[in-house]
Chains A and B, each alone.
Chain A
Amino acid sequence: MDARPRTPTLTAIRGGSDERDRLLDAWLPAVVRWCAHLGGPGVDAEDAAHDVFIVALRRLDRLYDPSQTAAWLFGITRRVLAQHRRRAWVRRWVPGLTIDSPDPARGPAAQMVGSETSERVRAVLAQLPVAERQVLLLCLVEERSDREVAEMLEIPHGTVKSRMRRARARFLEIAARSGLDGEDA
């Protein structure tokens, strides 16, 4: 499954509302997916994806090379998700603090039609560290090359490979404990 955006983005960031629309068309599904799969408990993927694009459109002047759009957007997504995780932590642990949170029914996690298997896979994924979730998502779901993932995560090429080995082993181990073996998916 190649889940990467298929629309070219080279002209989509040249300015103007039409071009901005094209950027959104090209990258919104990917960003929502990143937020849904990497956000973790308590993080609303739609809110996070919205914040990613608000930041991205404001900082578009810092993107020199359109071919780096994926890495640039993924970097923003990571930082926004970290912010949202902190907020989720606050919501869970600070007594007496009531925060106006979005209606959970509107989140893509709830909107995505989830089979029983997908829910179990999601639970397995949630048990992995964020860094390992990232490499699994980019390498195995989006089928990106090691070098591409290294650019997106801003880590050396060798680290992607070693992190991928650890992530895969841990993912399959937890999946096996949960009764998933990769044949029944």
Chain B
Amino acid sequence: MIEDREHQDDMRAARLLASLPDATPAAVHRVRTRVLKGPVTAHLPVVRGLRLVGVGAFAGALAAAALFAVRTDIERSQIVVPVPVAFTLDATQGWAIDGSIPNVALSYTGSGTVGGTSDAPRITWDSGLLNVEVTSDKGVRLAVTTKEAEVRVIGTGFSVTRDALGTRVDVRHGHVEVDCGDEATRALTAGAGVTCLPRSAAGLLGRARALQAANAPAADALEALDRGLAVVGPQPAVRDELNARRVSALYALARHGDAIDAARAYVSAGGGTRQAEMVQIAAASAQALGGCGTAAPWLLEAGAIAVEACR
């Protein structure tokens, strides 16, 4: 409802703003001609004369302020068009200030790319560990982005680790702002850290896999799997694996009733590649709840040998 209202307001505002005229070709041509003339400053405001009428020191101070304010910092030199630079970070490199990004030192094990401007460099970090030191008071506005996070910094040291679990940001000194792609931006000070979780279903599946492989608490894996199922699109393989791992996580948490329900849903949906495993987990959960009798239907589905094993 609120989104509908916002959309309607957007449309109303956009309709009004659409009535604003665009720049005319004549205006664009005039500016272009002036720029191409080279060191053009003839049209910049210059002080033609100061008529300090009936004023004393106060007016003099104001005039001085005005002179300062209208001073242009545009040089009258020839225009030079140098070649811009973009480069790739890859493999391993020690601490270095090599001029690639002025006032920024990097050490890393992984890969990414550098773009943006020297005042506002932007590192797109794909995977691995990236350590960053930004010289303070130099006005460098560095941003590091991963799929999960955006870190903004002015003069500080921090590290960004991107792996299957997500993106981890740890601040050594200074402070940074971290945007995990949700509404809230987190301000971190020295010693603090945050992990931005993956947002895609495949990314969340990767996180769950990594957690389960590391024997992390099953509840953490279950949370990642539930998040993944909430955002999964028409990707049968990802959905299938998320559901299967969810059954496994529920069993690990001894939530046997939920595990049986989830396994039943998986099996009845059909087409899954882990049908047999789901039946076995459901049988084990049913046995834990009520013994072999309760597990019998699942055991029968799993095969006669399983029934015998239960007895």
Residues of A within 8 A of B22 (CB): 3, 29, 33, 112
Instruction: Say whether A64 contacts B117, CB under 8 Å.
Output: yes
Partner of A154 from the list B41, B43, B55, B120 (CB cut-off 8 Å) is: B120
Instruction: Say whether A115 contacts B55, CB under 8 Å.
Output: no
Instruction: Say whether A115 contacts B19, CB under 8 Å.
Output: yes
Which residues from 100 to 128 on chain B have a C-beta closer than 8 Å to any C-beta of chain A?
A: 114-122
- Per-position 1/0 for A147-185, Cβ under 8 A of B: 000000010111101000100110110010000111101
Residues of B within 8 A of A94 (CB): 62-63, 65-66
Partner of B81 from the list A28, A57, A108 (CB cut-off 8 Å) is: A57
- Knowing A24-B32, A61-B84, A65-B115, say if A96 contacts B55 (CB, 8 Å): yes
- Knowing A32-B31, A64-B86, say if A165 contacts B6 (CB, 8 Å): yes
- Knowing A15-B82, A121-B16, A136-B13, say if A108 contacts B24 (CB, 8 Å): yes
A83→B185 CA distance, assembly (Å):
30
Instruction: Say whether B48 contacts A99, CB under 8 Å.
Output: yes
Instruction: Say whether B115 contacts A114, CB under 8 Å.
Output: no
Instruction: Say whether A24 contacts B36, CB under 8 Å.
Output: yes
Does more than half of chain A's interface fall in helix, strand or loop, or is it mixed?
A: helix
Partner of A55 from the list B9, B45, B74, B81 (CB cut-off 8 Å) is: B74
Q: Closest B-chain residue to A103, C-beta based?
A: B43
Interface size of B as a range: 35 or more
- Per-position 1/0 for B4-25, Cβ under 8 A of A: 0010011111111111111110
Instruction: Say whether B15 contacts A182, CB under 8 Å.
Output: yes
Q: Does A101 contact B (CB under 8 A)?
A: yes
Which residues from 37 to 60 on chain B have a C-beta closer than 8 Å to any C-beta of chain A?
A: 40-41, 43-53, 55, 59
A168→B182 CA distance, assembly (Å):
21
Binding site for B on A (CB under 8 A): 1, 3, 13-17, 19-21, 24, 28-29, 32-33, 36-37, 45-47, 49-51, 53-55, 57-58, 60-68, 72, 75, 83, 86-87, 89-90, 94-102, 106-108, 111-115, 117-118, 121-122, 124-125, 136-137, 140-141, 154, 156-159, 161, 165, 168-169, 171-172, 175, 180-183, 185
Given contacts A50-B40, A54-B35, 4 further A-B contacts (CB under 8 A): A60-B81, A64-B117, A99-B47, A111-B26
12 residue pairs bridging A and B, Cβ less than 8 Å apart: A47-B45, A50-B31, A57-B35, A63-B117, A64-B85, A64-B121, A65-B114, A97-B63, A101-B45, A102-B43, A121-B17, A168-B13
